[in-house]
Structures are given as C-alpha cells and as structure tokens.
A and B are shown apart, each in its own frame.
Chain A
Amino acid sequence: MAEEKTIYALATPPGKSAIAVIRVSGSKTIPLLKKIFRPQKEYQKLPARKIIKGEIIDFENQELIDEVTLAVYYSPNSYTGEDMAEIFCHGGFYLPQRICEVLKKGGAFLAEPGEFTKRRFLNGKIDLVQAEALLSLISAQTEKQAKMALSQLKGETSLIIKNFSEELKELLVLTEYLIEFADEEESEKLGRDIKEKIISLKERMEKIFRKTNFQKEIFEGIRTVILGRANVGKSSLFNQLIGKERAIVTEIPGTTRDVIEAMIDIDGFPFILCDTAGIDFTKTLIDELSVKKTKEYLEKANLILLIFDISEPPQEIDYDLLSITKEKERIIILNKKDLVHKFPLDFFKKEPYLIISAKYGEGIEELIKKLKEYVKNYYSDTDTFLFLPRQIDCLERSLETFKRTIDIPYWEGVAEELKTALNYLKELLGETTTEEILDRIFSQFCVGK
C-alpha cells in the first residue's frame, strides 16, 4: 500500500556538490527522525518550517554519519500534505547514500518516480493539470517551455477548459430539456438555438486547438523536415543550420537510418531538424517505398523546408513534392544560388521563396528569420495557457466528437455526443480519471520531486 509507506529520495542530482537534499514523507517521518537525528538543542517537538541543526547517526551502532540541517513540515502543511522532512547534508556520492541507507533501515522506502507529487495530488493539494505542469517545469529545456509550464501551474489552462466544459454542459442541459419537456412548437426554435450555439462553441474550440497544437510543438520540438530530390543540397543545408553559430542542444538518433535528426534552439524555440537524405527521391513518387516513407515524414512534420535546385529545370519529382506538401506549412528554398539559374521562378505561382547557397552559407540568416516568423504566427507572449500532449489529445477527441453533433438529426444522438465530448474535457481536467492515466503521468516524474 503506497499511501501507508513513508518514503524518501534524494532530491538533488547525485554526484559532486556542496550540499544534497534528501526528502522524507509519510506518517512515520517524525518517529524516524527521532531514531536517526540528534538535534543540537533539546526540543519537545521539532518546530515546523525552521532550520534545525543536528547530526544524523546510524541508530544501529550510534555511528555519526554527517552534520546536517533539517526542516520539518507537519501534515497537512507540506508539499505532499503528509508529515515531511528535508535533510540538507553534505554532497558527493557517499554521504547522501549513507543517510538514505539509514532511512531505509529505519523503515522508509525509496520513492517511486513522481511519488512525492502523486501524493500531493492524491491529498488534494493540486489538480491533475497542475500536477502535469510540475512535470513540464522540471523537464523544460528552454525558457519558453518553462514560462508556459508556470502559467499552467497557476491553473489558467484549467480555466479555459472549464469554461468550455461549462458551455458544453449548458448545451447538454438545453438538449435534455428539449427531449424531456419541450412541445413541438418550442422544440423547433430551441433546436435552432442549440445548433447555433454548437457552431459558435465549435469555432472557439478549434481556435484554441490550433494554438495548442503549436504549443505541443514547442514542447516536443517543431519538427522541421528538409525535403527535396537527391543532390539538391539537403545535407549541406542541414549542416549549415546546425553548425552555423547555433548550439546543438541534442543529437537525436534518427528513427530510421534514412533520416538524421538534430535539435536546434532558435530564440528559445526548439526546432527538430530532419534531413531526409537517406530517402531515395530519384525516381518519381510512384515508387511505393518512397511514397510510404515520404508520407510518414510528412505526417509527422510541422514545417517543411522544400528545396529545389536552381541550376536545373524542374523534374517530374519536383512537381510531385510540390503537390504532396501543398496542405502543409512550408518554406520553399532554391539552392545553388552560385550556379547558373535554369529554374523558372514562376513555377511557384504566388508563393514566396528564398534563394540560397547552402554550400557558401548564403541566405541562411534569411531562412532563420523565416523560421522565427513561423513561430510568431502561432505563438504570442500573451498566451498563458499550455497543453501537454495528453491534454491536446483529450481536447482533439472532444472537438471531433463535438463536431459530429452538427449533422445528427436525432436529439438523443446529439445529447450522446455532447456527453462524450464533455467527458473528454473532464478527463483532461482530471475530473474523471483512471489508475492507468495517473500512473502514466506520475511515472514521468523524476524521483524526489
């Protein structure tokens, strides 16, 4: 039984450091401290939220382990809502480990990943959305991510979804009223009203959904796929982008050998660059294998850098690439500026394009500018809501269900879809949840948080 156990964990990264922090939480925290902690002064009861000086000893052989300071919190006024202690000991690998061993010998258990926050949630101190925000905050890699996670922690995401769910409830109320009470004359008018309200809410939900999708990109990285037939200079561009004064944040191993990926940070926004150099674009896309692979990458892509060779006339495959990406966000690039231009510029009709030389690094700054513009289209500093992939998933399913109500001719069918749409939002807010969802969420936390 997890909730009965008293747990401990090292809250700071292990390794060389001046101090380390060990957290203990659970009903046996105070008795445990009595066993292993010898305070400098005598206390009737260890004072709450005060720094207390003392020694940690191994209660089995009275051996002194470390001189520490320590803070005690009493239930419910603590992070988890249970009795808690934070032990500030000397850092390094050895001492914190020794203290942990003593805690274990004294009857405490090593916390599972995210267990402190899980307890905080279970004890009603935060809602599910806030719990998830904590997770994002800890794992945020760029400033933008951290900022959005903070606003979520304040509950602004919950507020937006709560408003939607209130409106859905209202629609459901009207629909149920129509089914149970309204006479024929009244029904017709009410029916029209309901459908109008549905359309209005749908539009607002869609708007938020589009924005949230971009937020998902911020968190997971904006998947930017470099696409073009063989030898147009995809890899050169890739190297230019990751090499030229941009720090590589992470090297991500490609999902297949055909694609190389790397993450770059542009103004705090993470872009995942995908070089499709390994995909054979020499034949037309009728070649099944190429089509399949290309499709896969296109589906996952948020943004496409579509490259053409300005030194050659367009080939059949160029037309194909242009047509299969036309529904996507894309930036058209004409490479090999340094060679003789043989590519007709009216090929793209009115769509803007960039002319660059990947080989000599010309036009890369303009491209970076374009990438920043892309971000600005979807993100403004005033947006203070944030959705995590799980939440976006719920919102999307809710929206999909909700949209169906427009065409359903039977009112009990409408009610059914409204209820389902509402349930997805409730799931997002954590109002209805299952053990499985919780475990999935909490397993993503670091131990000790």
Chain B
Amino acid sequence: MAFIYPVKYDVIVVGGGHAGCEAAFAASKIGCKTLLLTMNIDTIALMSCNPAIGGIGKAQLVKEIDALGGIMGIVTDFSAIQYRYLNTKKGQAVRSLRAQTDRTKYRLVMRKILEKEKNLDIKQGEVVKLLVKGKEVYGVETRFGTQFLSKTVVLCLGTFMEGLVHIGLESFPAGRFGEFSSNLLSQNLRELGFILGRFKTGTPARLDGRTIDYSKLIPQYGDEEKRRFSFRELDLDIGIKKEEVSLPCYITYTNPKTHQIIRENLDRSPLYTGIIKATGVRYCPSIEDKVVKFSHKDRHQIFIEPEGINTYEVYPNGISTSLPIDVQIKMLRTIEGLENVEIIRPGYAIEHNYFDPTQLYPTLETKLYENLFIGGQIVGTTGYEEAGATGIIAGINAALKALNKEPIILKRSQSYIGVLIDDLVTKGTNEPYRMFTSRVEFRLLLREENADLRLSEIGYKIGLLKDTDYEKVLKKKERIEQIKEWLKKEKLYPQEEINNKLKEWGTSIKEPISLYELLKRPEIEMNKIIQFKNPPFDIKENEEIFWNVEIDIKYEGYINRSLKEIEKLKELEEVEIPEDFDYYKVPSLSNEAKEKLSKIKPKNLAQAQRIPGITPTAILNLLIYLKK
C-alpha cells in the first residue's frame, strides 16, 4: 500500500542538478511550498563535466538566469577561482565571461542556499512514477511507495534516465560514474505516451596534478580585473566565504604519437565498434572523434583546469574519451607535461534518454499532461547553463501555474533563454543542443552586460528578484541615460592639440563633434574619451556601465536595425493561433505542413514560421485563413 505523505506541496521538483536547483529555488522564492526530491542529496549541483561556468553564448544564459533572480551566477561567484573575458578582440557585443570554479565548493554553496529557503523541503528519494488522473499530473511516487502530492511537478532528470556508462567495451547502468541510474521513471514516461530519444555525452579522465610537469605547459592566467557573474549583492548569509584567488589553467597539446595510440585502439572504443548508437555532442567531440574526423590536424589543444583550491585533482578539457583505461593511460602519457601522469578517475561515455522537446509548450509544460513541466539536460541540451536556463523557466511556470497565474514565455528578441526554449520546442533537436551566439538573431541587442536591463523587471514582478536588486537595475538604467546625455552634450573642437592626440589613435576631426558621435568611430573607446573630458561620474565605479554605453553607441546602427526587425516580427507574433486549431481545415496547406503544425501547435504565426519545413507560402495561407 502506498503511503501518502501528509504534506501537500504546490510544486515538486524531481532532480537536484543545475536545472532542478534553479527550478526549486525559483518555485519556493515565488511563494510555493516546494519539495526537491533527489536520488542523492550529496550530489546536489554536482558539476559532472568541466569545473567552469560561462563562456561564449553561455555567459549570457547565466546572466539572464541571474537577472530573473536565479542562483547560478551567485553560486559561481562564490566558488570562482578564476575569471576570464572571452572574445574581447573579435567584437565587444559577443564578449562572454567564463569562470573556473571549485567543484566541491560549488555544490556546497548551492546546497546551503537551497537549505536556507524556508518554503523548500529537500528529500532524498528516487521517483519511479508520476501520479496521473486523466490528463493531469497530481504528484509523484518514490521507489519505496511514498506518494507526494502537489499541484505541479517539474522533472529535471539530467542524464539519469536509463543511463549507461561505457569505458572501453564494458558498460554498466549508471546516472553518472558511481551513481545509480533511474530506469523505472523512464519506463513510466513511455507508458504515459511520451517519446524518449537517446543521446550520448562524455567526459575525460581526472588527473593527479602532482604527477604533471607544469614547467612544460603554457599557463593561462585569469583577468586581473575583478569580475562577477551576478549583478546582485553577494550578501547571502550561508557561512561560506568567497575567496579572492585566481588560479591559472595550463595549455598543452596532443601529438601524432597520441593520435597513433588512439587509432590503433579504435577496435576497443565503444564509439567505433557500434556499441554506442546514440548521437553525441558535435560541438564537444571525444578525442577519438577528433582524431578520426579531423585526421589532417596533428595536434589538439588541452586545457588543464584546476578542480578546486583544496585538491590536486585536475580536469584535462578537450580529451573526453571512452577508450579502455589502459589506453587512456598510454595516450595521456604521450602528451607533453603528462609523461608521468596518474589517472584518478577514468574518462567515460554515457548514453541516456532525453525527452523530445517538441512535446513541450514554450512554458515547458507538456502538451500531453497538464501540470507536468520538464527542464534541464533531459529536454535535449548539453551544458550546465542550458540546463539552468530551462530549469528556471520550468520552475517559474510550475510555480505560477500552482498559483493560478499567467506563465512566463521569454521572446527570442528578449533573451538567449527565449531562443533556447523556442528552438527546442519549435524545431526539436537531433543532437544535444548547445547555446551559441549565432543562434540568436538579435545578439547585438542581447548582450551579457545588459541581461539585467532586459529581464530583471520580469524577475521582480513574479517575486523572484529582490526589491533591492531591482532598484539597483533601475539606478543603472538611469545612470546609462545620464552618461549618454553627457556624451551628446560635450563637444570636441578641431584644435591642434586634440587632433594630435586623435591622430595617435588613427583618426582626426575637421568639424566640431560630440563625444557621442566620436565614440562611434572604431578607433575610439570610452577610456580615450575620458582623456579629453572629465565625466561627472566616478570612472572606477561606473566601468561596467561605460562598457554598456559604449556598445550601445558603437552598434547603434545595427541595434536600430534589429529593433525595426523586432517591430516587423511583432505583426506575425500578434496573429495568435488557438491551441485547438485544426490545421487540416486550411485548404492548400501541404500535408507535410499540416502534420508539422499539428504536432508543434505554435502559439502564433511567428513561431509557426520557424518550424523547419514550413514555407513562407504556408504561412501566407495560414495568415489568410486566420484573418478571415
């Protein structure tokens, strides 16, 4: 007999990884009585892959999560041991922050933060079944028969569904190396009628840093300036101190000898013997894949990343592998600086189920059952940041639904998160989905340093972001306007002294020019402007804001163009399609279009247009029909 747990929850979050943590935190902050159920409470927020957060396209996600009131940014700042800005030379608008973190500290900080949430219960238990009545989900059942009831449920199962770890030709069920997999829930989802696919991902061996000859490696230091992911105050009273350290990473390379060993042992690779059938991450291939597919390259870069302050374990980024352990050792020891290296944990590949994301609405609620939300890697993504992003939205919408409030759907023109979710639910994915700036059509508008300006209002309105944090953003907005006003007002005249200076930088003026216009020139940056005129603001204090203003002005032309496109898009967005719309009634739609539209159920014509295989002609037909 099932034991029905006496506490009735608003929201239950299943899974305590990066998505589950955001979902649980968001739901409880919004005011829902929330339960986080995890298979192992000690692995909450464990970083299964490399110990770093952010990077190109991903930093934007972290900062957006932060702007909404999520916690990934804060936890990263607490546990960071190095920050670096990437892409500063290629263009300022795609600049992205990355932090190396202390892996152990990251999960401890996260756990502490969650434990301090008064609306949140954390329990250990494996969910094996969803409680379903008709087409509604009303709770979950754990392995030992306890039923937890709730208004909504969020599943953030990561790589645990029927997880299968491979090392060489050996394989065994596991959610991560050394952890149980979750098989019964996966079966239950299939029985309920959901479609599950299979993906593969992998990770390299972890090494003993004491056995590495660092003198042979190239160090890569962090930025000297202070960096932060979160714009919010790090005033969480969690009893864990943030340490101001900056540890370097080290660079080394594979070589032809390494590659030869890999090639010679492909018959012992689960990837190349057909044992692993699932699709892997194209953007993050295993070293076996790199050697085979890019055979013309005679070396591949490896970053040796520190695992933390209090450990000598290091993470060799760039050589994830599922070759047998003896081959792993042999191959690693051909690498410069790693001649005597000792492996602490072997690299492995893991196959796991994912949930076809086209079964979700943009709210991340399933189309098949009400009150059920899905987030995290299980919806077909890869990366902590992508997981956190879908996690927080699933959590927010599960909470809003429990409170009978309108859901949040972020637009593509508003956020990276919006693009991520829209891509997933509209197009689906046949490989693990990774965020890129190039997926974002308005990326010059959606930058990491203005994430707070874009999204904090939403976070504040749903009760996720604190008043004091929101006020900070309002002040920033005001300050930006003041600086722009000042730049417009102040002028430079074509005096010899001024032109001498300008010529040093490769430009000059013939007419009087406002600082605002001058800043548009590629040769001129804010730090040059302030050599001519003293701003009526503290320079040090406003450094980040200066950056913001500078990009706004430099890219004004593009930004205005984007804004116009967004306006145009609105026309299509405004043509809403009812959820129960019958596409088979629209004449002259091809059968393919009818099928696809009926499956995806787009909310409006703009979304319909993005479904692969839906032609402009089909949209025109739909438009004519809907307008009638």
Contact = CB atoms under 8 A, between A and B. Distances in A.
B94 interface: yes
Chain B, interface size: which category?
20 to 34
B618 to A, nearest CB: 9
Nearest to B443: A412
Contact of B621 (A27, A122, A433): A122
A420 B561 contact: yes
Residue from A3, A121, A176, A433 with most neighbouring chain B CB atoms (10 Å): A3
B628 A413 contact: no
Given A123-B588, A176-B438, A180-B56, A1 B89 contact: no
A420 B557 CA distance: 13
A252 interface: no
A179 B438 contact: yes
Contacts of B555: 413
B625 A180 contact: no
B616 A180 contact: no
B628 A187 contact: no
Nearest to B554: A410
What is the interface of chain A mostly: helix, strand, loop, or mixed? helix
Contacts of B90: 178-179, 187, 410-412
Contacts of A1: 624-625, 628
A415 interface: yes
Given A124-B617, A180-B436, A2 B624 contact: yes
B92 A410 contact: yes
A123 B624 CA distance: 14
Most A CB atoms within 10 A — which of B301, B438, B628?
Answer: B438
Contacts of A124: 590, 615, 617
A438 interface: yes
Contacts of A430: 616
Interface in A411-449: 411-413, 415-416, 419-420, 430-433, 435, 438
Contacts of B93: 410, 412
Contacts of B620: 122, 433, 435, 438
B301 A413 contact: no
A27 B588 CA distance: 11
B558 interface: yes
Contacts of B57: 180
Interface string B427-461: 00000000011100101100000000000000000
A419 B565 CA distance: 13
Contacts of A176: 436, 438
B192 to A, nearest CB: 38
A344 interface: no
Contacts of B588: 3, 122-123
A431 B616 CA distance: 7
B408 interface: no
A2 B586 CA distance: 12
A402 to B, nearest CB: 15
Interface in A175-192: 176, 178-180, 183-184, 187
A121 B617 CA distance: 8
Nearest to A412: B91
B605 to A, nearest CB: 11
B266 interface: no
B301 A183 contact: yes
B558 A179 contact: no
A107 B139 CA distance: 57
Contacts of A433: 616, 620
B623 interface: yes
A164 to B, nearest CB: 20
Nearest to A184: B89
B312 to A, nearest CB: 27
Contacts of B558: 413, 416
B624 A432 contact: no
Nearest to A438: B620
A351 interface: no
A80 to B, nearest CB: 10
Contacts of B441: 419
Contacts of B615: 124
A3 B617 CA distance: 12
A294 B516 CA distance: 39
Interface in B67-124: 87, 89-94
A4 interface: yes
A438 B621 CA distance: 12
A31 interface: no
A125 to B, nearest CB: 11
B617 A435 contact: no
Contacts of B56: 179-180
A32 B610 CA distance: 39
Contacts of A410: 90-93, 522
Contacts of A122: 588, 617, 620-621
B109 to A, nearest CB: 30
Contacts of B590: 124
Residue of A121, A411, A416, A438 contacting most chain B CB atoms (<10 Å):
A416
A409 interface: yes
Nearest to A420: B561
B587 interface: yes
Interface centre among A4, A178, A430 (most CB of B within 10 A): A4
B270 to A, nearest CB: 27
B444 A416 contact: yes
Interface string A105-143: 000000000000000011110000000000000000000
9 contacts: A1-B625, A1-B628, A27-B587, A179-B90, A409-B522, A411-B90, A412-B90, A413-B91, A435-B623
Interface of A: 1-4, 27, 121-124, 176, 178-180, 183-184, 187, 409-413, 415-416, 419-420, 430-433, 435, 438
The 8 closest A-B pairs by CB, nearest first: A410-B91, A412-B91, A176-B438, A411-B90, A409-B522, A412-B94, A411-B91, A1-B628
Interface of B: 56-57, 87, 89-94, 301, 436-438, 441, 443-444, 522, 555, 558, 561, 587-588, 590, 615-617, 620-621, 623-625, 628
Given A3-B587, A124-B617, A179-B438, 7 more contacts: A2-B624, A179-B91, A179-B437, A412-B444, A416-B561, A419-B441, A430-B616
